[in-house]
């Protein structure tokens, strides 16, 4: 059991999931239905926020999501989610979606998404989240751009 106040590293809560795209996941054009990808993204990101905070979490915001390339039946889909930044009670999680054709090995980065979660106390109120220790250069870069993303969001809310 972690001490709730102890900061964690990005690696401590990162999540990686892999799916095989089945017919039930697709639209009439045989490429993946966007809502399926969004649900995978939300689930992976929520697990990161839960692992970071060791609390129940809710999604408060999903940033712009664009689908840059189709994902086809039979593709393998890799979802990589990691915490980018933490505010007082909020956690910003970045998610990268990569499609892989298992027969050629060719991979395509299809989507990047940023989601904000809030950890809740025992009566459903936002609770202060633990600190985050970015270690690698990439994690430090994501921390700074996450900070800017949150500050910009707060500025646009007050306009």
Ligand X SMILES: CC(C)(COP(=O)(O)OP(=O)(O)OC[C@H]1O[C@@H](n2cnc3c(N)ncnc32)[C@H](O)[C@@H]1OP(=O)(O)O)[C@@H](O)C(=O)NCCC(=O)NCCS
Residue facing ligand X at closest CB distance? 87
Question: CA-CA distance, 49 to 33, in Å (whole number)?
Answer: 25
Given a contact cutoff of 8 angstroms between Cβ atoms, the answer to whether 19 and 40 are in contact is yes
Residue 1 or 155 with smaller CB distance to ligand X: 155
Q: How far is the CB of 99 from ligand X (least distance, A)?
A: 26
Q: How far is the CB of 54 from ligand X (least distance, A)?
A: 17
The dihedral through the CA atoms of 149, 151, 154, 155 has a sign that is negative
φ and ψ of 151, to 5 deg: -65, -40
Residues facing 91 on adjacent strands? 86, 117
Return the residue matching tokens 């689930």.
Answer: 43
Residue 99 or 149 with smaller CB distance to ligand X: 149
Residue 18 or 61 with smaller CB distance to ligand X: 61
Question: CA-CA distance, 111 to 116, in Å (whole number)?
Answer: 17
Residue 31 or 90 with smaller CB distance to ligand X: 90
Question: CA-CA distance, 3 to 26, in Å (whole number)?
Answer: 43
Positions touching ligand X (CB under 6 A) are 58-61, 87-90, 116, 118, 126, 153
C-alpha R_g of the chain: 17
Residue 21 or 46 with smaller CB distance to ligand X: 46
Q: How far is the CB of 3 from ligand X (least distance, A)?
A: 20
């Amino acid at each position: 059991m972690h001490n709730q106040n102890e900061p964690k590293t990005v690696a401590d809560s990162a999540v990686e999931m892999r799916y095989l795209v089945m017919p039930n996941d697709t639209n009439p054009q045989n490429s993946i239905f966007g809502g399926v990808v969004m649900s995978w993204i939300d689930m992976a990101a929520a697990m990161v926020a839960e692992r970071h905070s060791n609390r129940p979490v809710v999604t408060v915001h999903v940033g712009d999501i664009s689908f840059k390339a189709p994902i086809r039946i039979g593709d393998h889909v890799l979802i990589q989610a990691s915490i980018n930044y933490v505010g007082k009670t909020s956690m910003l999680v970045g998610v990268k979606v990569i499609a892989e054709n298992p027969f050629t090995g060719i991979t395509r980065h299809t989507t990047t998404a940023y989601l904000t979660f809030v950890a809740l106390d025992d009566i459903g109120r936002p609770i202060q989240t633990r600190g985050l220790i970015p270690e690698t250069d990439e994690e430090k870069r994501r921390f700074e751009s996450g900070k800017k993303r949150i500050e910009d969001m707060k500025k646009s809310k007050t306009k």
